[in-house]
Structure 1
Amino acid sequence: MRDKSFSTTHADYFYDSIPIARHLNEVEAIENYEKNTGKAIIETFTNIDYMVIPGVLVRSHGVFAWGKSASVQ
């Protein structure tokens, strides 16, 4: 699932829809939550260039973002 950007700030960093990772199932959430969250993010980017889209919304968690540095330039 993907969501459209809502403001100019979104448009500055997301040049397409904002990806949303799937919900983890109960077993994934209980057994190795961090690893399974990472797997869900990877699944989300199967056909999306992570270098163009610098973040993902993770259901029931929040935002994961990446880039060259933590500062915005």
Structure 2
Amino acid sequence: MFITLAWLFVAAVTVHNLEEAVFLPAWSEQAGRWHRPLAANEFRFAVFVLVVLAGVAALLATVQGRESFGAYVLS
């Protein structure tokens, strides 16, 4: 069950970050004076890195078990 939840978490992070990668840069252009506009390429690269890190943590948790560093990072 833990492994299933770990990979569901990665899937949720991926879907959430994809949505932000598509819509957030355009929104930031109109956000007003409280938010600086985001450069789309840099933001999408950061989103990609976060998704990869979540995947690596889930992989570590899958391979090493529930009390591993990967499980700690996912938690």
The interval holding the TM-score normalised by the smaller chain is: under 0.3
TM-score between the two structures when normalised by the length of structure 2 = 0.26
Q: Which of the pair has more CA radius of gyration? A: 2
- The structure carrying a bigger strand percent of its residues is 1
